[in-house]
Structure 1
Amino acid sequence: MADNLVFPLHESVFDGNVRQVSALLRLHDIAQKDIHGNTPLHLAVMLGHKEVVHLLLAHGAPVKVKNANGWTPLAEAISRGDRQTITSVLRKLKQQSRESLEEKRPQLIKALRDLGDFYLELKWDFQSWVPLVSRMLPSDVCRVHKKGSCLRVDSTLIDFNDMKWQRGDLTFVFNGEARQDKSLAVMDNELKVYQRIRPDDSESDIEDEVDILMSSDIVTATMSTKTITFVRSQSGWLFREDRTEMVGPFNADFYAVHGMIIESKKRREHLSDEDVQKNKAVIDSFSKGSVVEGSLESQRRPSLAAPMPSKITWKEYICAIPKNPPTLGREMLYKESKKGVKATVAMSEEFPLSVEELLNVLEVITPFKHFNKLREFVQMKLPAGFPVKIDIPVLPTISAKITFQEFQNNMDIPSSLFYIPRNYKEDPNRFPDL
């Protein structure tokens, strides 16, 4: 057999040989991918070798890794439907995410400290081509204060997804000098309560998330950046010229983003007809302009009946056309779509922050989910300058226009802004999604 088809650890995982897997773990890379992009953990989950799954997780098998078709071990665990395996893989994913953040924390705090103190305003305008939805969508002005290694974000919008948004008078505080378990907090200034964003999830939080995963579509979406180009926008009717305008106090060049493609895949082989209808009803009600709050069932979702054991041999699997493996678990039921999306960006070389410095700020405020979309976009290879105005898609029917409308640096910012007021009470369940 050719060398590129020899994967001893994968083969022993495929066969469910726990003793041999244990021996080979000391000699082989647990994160190695085979010709189909599967890691040993992918195979163990797909084939339902539970003991091997737990052994690999105990040895730090990476969970946030996609195979050639874009699926993670967690996605494959949801497809198979064994609740215990889904819970174990999800718990390990969260642990590895925390460890990764903790590794980056010293550099992040240093980067914040090296940055000058400043005040920044970002205006968010959400828009949709669905008229009723567009009328309901929120706008928001986020006010950001930064001093030393501390960051404060004041907002009226903390959570935004395709089912709901959460409004209020909210403050997010990051204190880089505090212990990890006390460095992040969200305050509800109307109720005068606060919640620490702790590194660990409670057992009930994990179980709630498993229920949601088991009753929802498995979705993977990637934004293809290989084909993206930035083309100068034009202005004028008779005499066309490059569009340059003031954005707030900053002179900016406007670009149209061409070739931005969102590729999405959706799987639902683990869902019952009842699940599919429930999910469709929620999405339909939203698209008609009403917001439905999802409610968890009082009883936990049970494991699905295991699919028929695979009759595929290791040789048949590894000799299949690369990236087109035979089915090892439940027969896949999925849809695939590619959609070109429009975006525009205004770049200014006058803005006092750099893109790298902005990314360090956004890294801290990732619990604000809508900021993740901004972060993903800013990580692309942008034209010269700073993106003072961006119009980007955040959901299939919704786009966000983000404007950096004010920036003041070298100002005296009071330290009291970064502390929780003494009259605020702790409420660990105020923001259940954080």
Structure 2
Amino acid sequence: MPMIMAQEEGEKYPIHRCIFQGSVKTLSSLIKTYDIAEKDKQGNTPLHLAVMLGRKECVQLLLAHGAPVKVKNLAGWSPLAEAISYGDRQTISSLVRKLKQQTREQMEERRPNLVAALHQMGDFYMELKWDFQSWVPLVSRVLPSDICKIHKSGASIRMDTTLVDFNDMRWERGDISFIFNGDQKPGHSLTVLDNKAKLFQRVRHKETELEIEDEVDILMSSDIMAAQMSTKGITFSRAQTGWIFREDKREMVGAFHADFYQINGMVLESRKRREHLSEEDLQKNKAIMESLTKGSSQSFKNGEPPLRRASLNPPPESNITWDEYIIAPPGQCPLLGRNLVYKESSKSFKATVAMSPDFPLTVDMLLNVLEVITPFKHLSKLRQFVLMKLPPGFPVKIDIPILPTVTAKITFQEFAFRNDIDPELFQVPSDYFEDPMRDYDAYMIMMMVLHNASCV
């Protein structure tokens, strides 16, 4: 009976089976007629299996035919996460390159609609106030606050911020402006200004080989992280006020009437794997991360080429057969790579959101604005939150978990449609100098690596 079941299930996934059996020739013929993005019972795509089993030729063939990299199996891991665990540097580099290419292509597909939506939206000025808080005693006293100032004119957006980076309990202050000019060509649409140093740099859309290799070093010497806000069990209930006579809480948030809601069932789930790391790796990684967050790249320090992270010895060959794999119950995938060194944690948050029917901006308009500025990690969290199904109105005040120990209170404290936005705000000032040595591209890469951890 199990044999018959295995045959029946196996016939459903011919590409998965030929990868499991290591048949590149069969794969090259099947790849033309079958869906290479299909998931099996474990949620694994053919690319997942090729990576976990160390089928390098199959990996390259699948990538050449556009197999998706940003996709997760039932365990919540992407092919890139499994490649980092396996430890083959060439495979990791190939997946990183393809992930970036696919991300760029998806962004360019969305770009015309985004630019059109920005043009249709009225021009405005908006302020977002961020107050970071922690339930850990004394920590809240030292956490930063920030006011993001956002100007929008036509298809252009400018964001001014003093909080450049926020990671663990460290943050970096500055005076940074991020300018998006939607009517410019992609390679010229993003600019970062350092207003203290009076410097600017265009943010490229394509990374150099050195930047790719820097990123691979970071991934190979870091925990494999997956963090997400679980929205499955989230419900909203009206917040109450008053000791004896209870009533629904309504207050003014700035100039806007708002109804307050309790957010129930908000859970921040974080998972990490480190079966590919030694203690020495962890120490080296700490030094690499500190150097990159300070704006320096690994590449060619003192004129010498960097020492690159070497491939790991492959894990023992899996003795799991295709039949054993395919009849395993969903969520109980047999071990195909290294023994996992795994830790997970979750924290429940009590949070509130204030929804205003009077706010002039709609949630859809806000999402278009946030899509432009999500390279900033904390703003990416805001976008993830706004994507949830919220009560009626606009979220003028929100609590968002940023880290397991830190929440941010965001207040839309000012908003006004305006027809007098100065067009020079979206230009580089004439007294600013381009600084090719200041590696904002590496900085943006690091921001994307950090806030896309859940992709891995």
Question: TM-score of the superposition, structure 2-length normalised?
Answer: 0.89
Contact residue 297 and residue 439 of structure 2 kept, 8 A: no
Q: Match for 2:382: what amino acid?
A: L
How well do the aligned residues superpose, as a CA RMSD in angstroms? 2.2
Out of 8, 18, 34, the position equivalent to 1:12 is 18
Contact residue 355 and residue 386 of structure 1 kept, 8 A: yes
What is the alpha-carbon distance in structure 1 between the residues aligned to residue 260 and residue 372 of structure 2? 28
Alignment map for 1:249-398 (pairs within 5 Å) = 249-276=255-282, 298-398=306-406
Q: Match for 1:105: what amino acid?
A: R
Partner of 1:112: 118
Contact residue 10 and residue 323 of structure 2 kept, 8 A: no
Partner of 1:419: 427
Out of 107, 132, 137, the position equivalent to 1:126 is 132
Partner of 1:433: 443
Partner of 2:35: 29
Quick check: 202-211 or 162-171, which moved more?
162-171
What is the alpha-carbon distance in structure 2 between the residues aligned to residue 375 and residue 81 of structure 1? 33
Deviation at 1:331, TM superposition (A): 1.3
What is the alpha-carbon distance in structure 1 between the residues aligned to residue 397 and residue 308 of structure 2? 45
Partner of 1:407: 415
1:370-425 CA distance string (max 9 Å, x none):
10000000000000000000111101111101000011113311211111112222
Partner of 1:61: 67
Give the 3 Å change call, closer, same or farther, for CA 294–319 of structure 1 in structure 2. farther
Q: Match for 1:156: what amino acid?
A: T
1:141 paired with 2:151, answer no
What is the alpha-carbon distance in structure 2 between the residues aligned to residue 278 and residue 37 of structure 1? 34
Contact residue 5 and residue 35 of structure 1 kept, 8 A: no
Contact residue 295 and residue 439 of structure 2 kept, 8 A: no
Give the 3 Å change call, closer, same or farther, for CA 293–163 of structure 1 in structure 2. farther
Give the 3 Å change call, closer, same or farther, for CA 294–423 of structure 1 in structure 2. closer
Q: Match for 1:26: what amino acid?
A: K
1:42-80 CA distance string (max 9 Å, x none):
000001111111111111100000001000000000000
Quick check: 226-235 or 259-268, which moved more?
259-268
What is the alpha-carbon distance in structure 2 between the residues aligned to residue 185 and residue 5 of structure 1? 51
Describe the SS at the equivalent of 1:433: helix
What is the alpha-carbon distance in structure 1 between the residues aligned to residue 279 and residue 424 of structure 2? 54
Partner of 2:451: none
Contact residue 241 and residue 247 of structure 2 kept, 8 A: yes
1:68-108 CA distance string (max 9 Å, x none):
10000000000001111111111111111111000000000
Partner of 1:243: 249
Quick check: 332-341 or 91-100, which moved more?
332-341
Give the 3 Å change call, closer, same or farther, for CA 44–419 of structure 1 in structure 2. same
Partner of 1:288: none
Describe the SS at the equivalent of 2:443: coil
Contact residue 315 and residue 337 of structure 2 kept, 8 A: yes
What is the alpha-carbon distance in structure 1 between the residues aligned to residue 36 and residue 402 of structure 2? 35
1:11-30 CA distance string (max 9 Å, x none):
11111211111110111001
Quick check: 103-112 or 197-206, which moved more?
197-206
What is the alpha-carbon distance in structure 2 between the residues aligned to residue 136 and residue 60 of structure 1? 47
Deviation at 1:134, TM superposition (A): 2.4
Contact residue 163 and residue 292 of structure 1 kept, 8 A: no
What is the alpha-carbon distance in structure 2 between the residues aligned to residue 129 and residue 202 of structure 1? 42
Partner of 1:224: 230
1:234-289 CA distance string (max 9 Å, x none):
11112111111100000101111001122222111101133356779999x9xxxx
Structure 1 unaligned regions, length at least 5: 286-290
Contact residue 250 and residue 257 of structure 2 kept, 8 A: yes
1:151-192 CA distance string (max 9 Å, x none):
111111122221532221111111111000000111001111
Out of 194, 205, 211, the position equivalent to 1:199 is 205
Question: TM-score of the superposition, structure 1-length normalised?
Answer: 0.94
Identity of aligned residues (%): 62
Contact residue 218 and residue 288 of structure 2 kept, 8 A: no
How many corresponding residue pairs?
A: 428
What is the alpha-carbon distance in structure 2 between the residues aligned to residue 5 and residue 228 of structure 1? 38
